A and B are shown apart, each in its own frame.
Chain A
Amino acid sequence: MRKTFALLTKILLPLSLIALTGCHGSKGLPSFEVPETFDESKEYNITFWAKNDTNITQANIYNQAIKDFEELYPNIHVNMRLYTDYGRIYNDVITNISTRTTPNVCITYPDHIATYLTGANTVVPLDALMADSRYGLKGSSLKYEAPGDIVPKFAEEVKLSGISYAIPYMRSTEACYVNKTMVEKLGYTLPDTLTWDFVWEVSEKAMEKDSDGNFKINGQKVMIPFIYKSTDNMMIQMMRQKNAGFSDEEGNILLFNDTAKELLEEIAVHAGTGSFSTFKISSYPGNFLNAGQCIFAIDSTAGATWMGPHATNHDISEDKLVDFDMVVTRIPQFDTSNPVMISQGPSICVFNKEDPEEVLASWLFAQYMITSDIQIAYSSTEGYIPVTEKALNDPSYLDYLSKEGIDNDLHYGPKIKASKLLIDNIDRTFITPVFNGSASLRDAAGQLIESTTKSMRRKETVDDAYFTKLYKDTRSLYHLDSVSKANTDGSEKKEFAPLPLTSKILLFALLFTWVGIGAFYLRGVIKKAYGKNNHK
């Protein structure tokens, strides 16, 4: 029996140690320290995962930036992989964290970084690099003109628990692209600041049909007066305008409240009449707008080149385009005296590696992407704005802005108007708190609107019981009852779901083993003492 027990101990002890080690997860990378020197005789191959908006000019700017950077730093080679979907980048990064094959530099959103941070030392905190006198934002040892300060509001957006885990790359907001011609044809005057009530009222008015079943306003069979591209943003901004809870810095989910329900009830009314729809249900707002089948199209300012009868880009055939006066204005508001809107846009994060000099090489490239020439070139492709003070005040950028509408290409009026909309409202922008799970919360917010809209279109009963079930189902679908919370020190505080049975059995086995080992040891000690006593 003793031999059996000793054998079991020998087998189970190392196994339990392995299991316990496993519980703590794999060992992370060492935390990054800015190296004293940068060895320019050493070759570095860095990977850059980027996203463009199916816009060849943007891809070309990336390519040119890489070429120029490699000429400045011939020992750093940048391999770019382009995506058209942030979700895919996010999933690929998550997959590669476990195998330590993350890219070096990645275009991303803070919501995503919060999840990347669950891996130990995965994402490089950038504060020390940004402040570094040699290689930082005002660095003296850079081979390119230092980018200078980031617009404070944008710099704050990439901080998680007070630490900068990214640098902003481009910023945009949402705009309402309005067919002013139709608004006036319906007997209304477009206000300086749209209200939700105004948009709903005009939209309902536009649903009137003639005896042939055509919409009176456009003489067509199709008319969706109000289409929203991102319902995530729609719910987030409506909630913010109402000062209603969405989430907080502690990662508490506040979305599922009575204000959200009231908003959904209003949306349901207009979804039911067909005067409101979404991108996911019907397609791009810009396509309907340009075909004279939509009056209020809400989309990113970064989509401005697709908006309007003279848009630089469009997906519908020329014969479907209609001519109209378009106004680019702020999204609708509940309180016109205090308009607020979301700030969005890509940021750049740097992933940690074993070699700190490789990280420094990555940083040098990441930072190069926010130098003025690249910022101005990229922001001019769409209704983005640069993120540095230097680029925003650069004479060439100011000149670009001043040429609004002189052509329908680089100076396409609605695109520059969209940029100015954000520049004029930077202080009125906001972001939602970032934590591990905030990306899911965003999706859930949009899903509430998508589900309600679909249900109304499908003639389902949408009442109190419906919303109770919708809240419950959405919480469950997006796992919002088990999101982790970010502590102020950047560490993760997790709320766990109940342990699965297998884990409980393993833990019980471990406990049993340790108790057994203890008992065995104690037995030996007692016996030894007893034996000694006997010798006396």
Chain B
Amino acid sequence: MKKLTALVLAVVFALSLTACGGEKGMTYAEYTAAAVDSEVTVDVYVQATQSWWDNKITVYAADKDGGYFIYNMECSEEDSKKLTPGTKIQVKGHKGEWAGEVEVVDGTFTLLSGKSFIAEAKDVTDKLGTDEIANFQNQLVSFKDMTVESVSYKNDQPGDDIYVTLSKDGNNYDFCLEYYLNGSDEAFYNLVGGLTAGQTVDVEGYLYWYEGLNPHITKVTVK
């Protein structure tokens, strides 16, 4: 009888421990292998967010292995203030692909405890023009010694996205200052809007994809 009681207690204890731990998120490898439209659960760290809008927020997230773009995640305005860089969250949603951008859509999140994590930018300059660069999608990346070719405002006037064309070794690449990500940073907005053709720059940003490479830039150093 004692043995049976001990066994039952052990099982209950094990089950309760599992319950406390909650569902474990997929690894980055599992996430990348998951089919489009399948359900995904990922434990990730917020790196940046676009401005909250209509009970939704778009999150640039990462873990130690890769980057995630979490599009229009359900989020109250109050909760959006908790999504500071480094915060660990579990996101449940579906994997989607929109114009080549792999993302988590229709997601909901819960805050997780644990250490915060901020990814460092990976230099992918030598991957430009190769298929390999797609493997870095949604990660914070950097490009060195790029040449400014052109800068234009989405509406032909300040107040919205800025499209920046940079070149390397004679090939042009499209970059974007996403207004809802960092348009409110006036100094940065003016810096990017004021770039002129011929300048040499180092840039950092999240490797967004729109029918091809289209990083959302977060840092520009004019050389």
Query: A residues near B, CB below 8 A?
Result: 52, 54, 56, 59-60, 81-84, 281-284, 287, 315-317, 320, 454, 457-459
Contact = CB atoms under 8 A, between A and B. Distances in A.
Interface in B55-98: 94, 96-98
Interface string B157-194: 10110000000000000000000000000000000000
Contacts of A316: 211-212
Contact of A457 (B37, B99, B157, B160): B37
Nearest to B155: A82
Interface string B89-115: 000001011110000001000000000
A82 B153 CA distance: 11
Secondary structure at chain B's binding surface: helix, strand, loop or mixed? loop
B39 A82 contact: no
Contacts, number: 46
Contact of B39 (A83, A281, A283, A458): A458
B99 A287 contact: yes
B182 to A, nearest CB: 18
Contacts of A81: 159
A287 B211 contact: yes
A82 B157 contact: yes
Given A454-B106, A458-B37, A458-B94, A54 B211 contact: no
Contacts of B38: 458
Contact of B159 (A82, A283, A315, A454): A82
A81 B157 CA distance: 9
28 contacts: A54-B154, A54-B155, A56-B152, A56-B156, A59-B156, A60-B156, A81-B159, A82-B155, A82-B157, A82-B160, A84-B154, A84-B155, A281-B98, A282-B97, A282-B98, A283-B98, A283-B211, A287-B99, A315-B211, A316-B211, A317-B211, A317-B212, A320-B211, A454-B94, A454-B106, A458-B37, A458-B94, A459-B37
Contacts of A458: 37-39, 94
Nearest to B161: A84
B210 interface: yes
Contacts of A60: 156
Interface string B2-35: 0000000000000000000000000000000000
A454 B106 CA distance: 10
Contacts of B39: 458
Interface string B190-216: 000000000000000000001110000
A281 B96 contact: yes
Contacts of A459: 37
